[in-house]
């Protein structure tokens, strides 16, 4: 199973994301790094042995101002494989993200205008570079599209699978930064032929062990790394594969 550290960038600073309440996000305070600078934190993740990282570019998601310079700088300094969510809803943005240091683009339901966009972009960009993020609040889809919002997560996931995209993120925003644990019952219902990356709520190493036993492809972690609830020593069985 892949262990993928996360940085949330707001005002070009790494912030502590809590339950999707973005107005309350504050610069991260971490035992790993004294700085909240995204480049320094990314470098620290690299030094811990991680090879891949997730970037939630909130400057782009909220204000339509992608941090292309930061993607480039992080990539050149750390050599990390970057999966980036800048709120993609058009092909030009997707292409620019890939041309500026990202290895994979994340297309989230939250900023998606219609489902057809997934099919359109999958014809222009290799599907192995696309990850669909199933953005949820209390197990209900978040989206700009009324049609998507009314779909059940399971139906949406099936539609994505039918297009041929195999990697998805299951992101429950009410659990982000909460360390409340993940919803195992919900994960049990998801198509096991998909590569599932779980985000939101990871508390300790036991959560990771449980997800590994379930055959989950990957897990996103941030808070539990920054406060020391999960240590590099505990992750040594996975970091070499992440």
SS (H, E, C) the chain: CEEEEEEEEECCEEEECCCCCHHHCEECCCCCCCCCCHHHHHHHHHHCCCCEEEEEEHHHHHHCCCCHHHHHHHHHHHCCEEEEECCCCCHHHHHHHHCCCCCEEEEEHHHCCCCHHHHHHHCCCCHHHEEEEEEEECCEECCCCHHHHHCCHHHHHHHHHHHCCCEEEEEEHHHCCCCCCCCHHHHHCCCCCCEEEEECCCCCHHHHHHHHHCCCCEEEECHHHHCCCCCHHHHHHHHCCC
What pTM was computed for the model? 0.93
Q: What pLDDT tens digit does each residue of the chain (242 aa) get? A: 999 999 999 999 999 887 767 777 899 999 999 999 999 999 999 999 999 999 999 999 998 899 999 999 999 999 999 999 999 989 999 999 999 999 999 999 999 989 999 999 999 999 999 999 999 988 899 998 999 999 999 999 999 999 999 999 998 887 776 667 677 778 888 866 789 999 888 889 999 999 999 899 999 999 999 999 999 899 988 885 44
Question: Could you say which of 3.40.630.10, 3.20.20.70, 2.160.10.10, 3.40.50.1220 is the CATH number of the domain covering 2-239?
Answer: 3.20.20.70
């Amino acid at each position: 199973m892949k262990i993928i550290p996360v940085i949330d960038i707001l005002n070009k600073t790494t912030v502590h994301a809590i339950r999707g309440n973005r107005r309350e996000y504050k610069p991260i305070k971490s035992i790993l790094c004294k700085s909240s600078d995204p480049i320094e934190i990314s470098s620290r993740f690299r030094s811990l042995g991680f090879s891949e990282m997730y970037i939630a570019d909130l400057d782009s998601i909220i204000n339509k101002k992608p941090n292309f310079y930061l993607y480039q700088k992080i990539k050149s300094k750390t050599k990390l494989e970057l999966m980036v969510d800048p709120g993609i809803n058009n092909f030009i943005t997707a292409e620019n993200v890939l041309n500026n240091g990202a290895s994979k683009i994340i297309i989230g339901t939250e900023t998606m205008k219609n489902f057809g966009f997934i099919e359109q972009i999958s014809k222009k960009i290799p599907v192995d570079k696309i990850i669909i993020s199933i953005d949820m609040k209390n197990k209900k889809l978040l989206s700009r599209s009324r049609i998507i919002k009314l779909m059940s997560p399971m139906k949406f996931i099936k539609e994505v699978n039918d297009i041929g995209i195999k990697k998805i993120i299951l992101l429950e925003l009410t659990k982000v930064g909460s360390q409340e644990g993940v919803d195992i019952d919900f994960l049990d219902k998801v198509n096991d032929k998909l590569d599932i990356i779980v985000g939101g709520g990871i508390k300790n190493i036991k959560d990771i062990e449980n997800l590994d036993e379930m055959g989950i492809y990957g897990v996103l972690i941030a808070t539990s790394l920054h406060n020391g609830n999960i240590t590099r020593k505990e992750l040594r069985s996975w970091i070499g594969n992440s």
